[in-house]
Amino acid sequence: MIRARSPEAKAKRRAQILRATADVLAADGLEGCSLNAIASRAGIVKSNIYRYFESREEILLRLLLDDLTGTCDGLSMIVSGPMSVKETAQLLANGFVASPRLCLLISQLAPTLEHNIRTDTLREIKRALLVQSNRASAALTTALPALPHATAQQAIHLLFSLVAGLWPMSNPGPELANLLAEPEFAPLGQSFADRIHDAILILLSGLTTVAKQDPHNRALPHSGH
């Protein structure tokens, strides 16, 4: 392997590792996405990954940031004015359904990705993630002007939580997949697309309802504590 000494060459190596990670993730899922797999896919040696990222978590966080940015780009493109709650829900749901990797990484964000990383690095990434999250809130406010800004932000955070909770449930491992084929457990086998679509519709309906019942500026019961 020829050595990367210039900043550009180093950036290429970083991109190469991220690309390999994305490939392994698509091919073998998170379980198969070990540093060994990433390294061999990228054609480099495992220990050298640590010259470009400080941990496995950082790699995945960078990937998450890229994906979220892309999805928010798409959202900002599409949303240009007020829409119905139903349309808005569909739009948001489609955004997630179109990015399975984003959903996977969101589901891993709090439980695993935000560990094993220096505070400085985490701060930088978290800041960038917040920027994107705020872009999404802005898009939501554009689509549903009835929602106050603070409520829209809460909605986006809740949405992330929903994705984090629903994705693993909708993408079971082979053991559970076997079971879900049995009629007894069929109701549990709903697709992620159906689940997230229903959930977002309910969420937005609930938020507009609560917002109506709350004439003050307080978006949600606890936000004013």
Partner DNA sequence: TCAATAAGAAAACGGCGTTCTCTTATTGAC
Partner DNA sequence: GTCAATAAGAGAACGCCGTTTTCTTATTGA
Could you list the residues that contact a copy of itself (CB under 8 A)? 107-111, 114-119, 122-123, 126-127, 130, 153-154, 157-158, 160-166, 168-169, 172-173, 175-176, 178-179, 182, 184-185, 187-188, 190, 194-195, 197-199, 201-207, 209-210, 220-223, 225
* DSSP states along 82-103: ---HHHHHHHHHHHHHT-HHHH
**Min dist. Cβ of residue 10 to DNA (A):** 6
* Nearest one of 69, 54, 68, 65 to 126, comparing CA atoms: 65
**Separation in Å, CA 25 to CA 104, 105, 111, 204:** 10, 10, 18, 32
Q: For 188, which DSSP code? A: G
* Nearest one of 25, 33, 159 to 92, comparing CA atoms: 159
Q: Is 113 one of the binding residues for DNA (CB under 7 A)?
A: no
* CB-count burial class (<10 Å; 0-12, 13-18, 19+) for 74: middle
From the list a copy of itself, DNA, none, which binds 179 (C-beta under 5 to 8 Å, kind-based)? a copy of itself
Q: Is 4 one of the binding residues for DNA (CB under 7 A)?
A: yes
From the list DNA, a copy of itself, none, which binds 190 (C-beta under 5 to 8 Å, kind-based)? a copy of itself
Q: Is 45 one of the binding residues for DNA (CB under 7 A)?
A: yes
Q: Give the residue with the Cβ less far from DNA, 3 or 225.
A: 3
Which residues, other chains included, contact 211 with Cβ-Cβ below 8 Å and sequence gap of 6+?
Answer: 146, 147, 148, 151, 219
* Nearest one of 196, 206, 119 to 165, comparing CA atoms: 196
From the list DNA, a copy of itself, none, which binds 217 (C-beta under 5 to 8 Å, kind-based)? none
Q: Is 47 one of the binding residues for DNA (CB under 7 A)?
A: yes
Q: Which helix (H) or strand (E) holds 67?
A: helix 56-78
From the list DNA, a copy of itself, none, which binds 220 (C-beta under 5 to 8 Å, kind-based)? a copy of itself
From the list DNA, a copy of itself, none, which binds 1 (C-beta under 5 to 8 Å, kind-based)? DNA
Phi, psi of 148, rounded to the nearest 5 degrees: -65, 160
From the list a copy of itself, DNA, none, which binds 45 (C-beta under 5 to 8 Å, kind-based)? DNA
With CB under 7 A as the contact rule, the residue among 2, 215, 216, 221 that binds DNA is 2
Q: Give the residue with the Cβ less far from a copy of itself, 142 or 171.
A: 171
Instruction: Return d(Cα 32, Cα 30) in angstroms, integer.
Output: 5
Q: Given the rule CB under 7 A, which residues bind DNA?
A: 1-6, 10, 13, 33-37, 44-48, 50-51, 55-57, 116
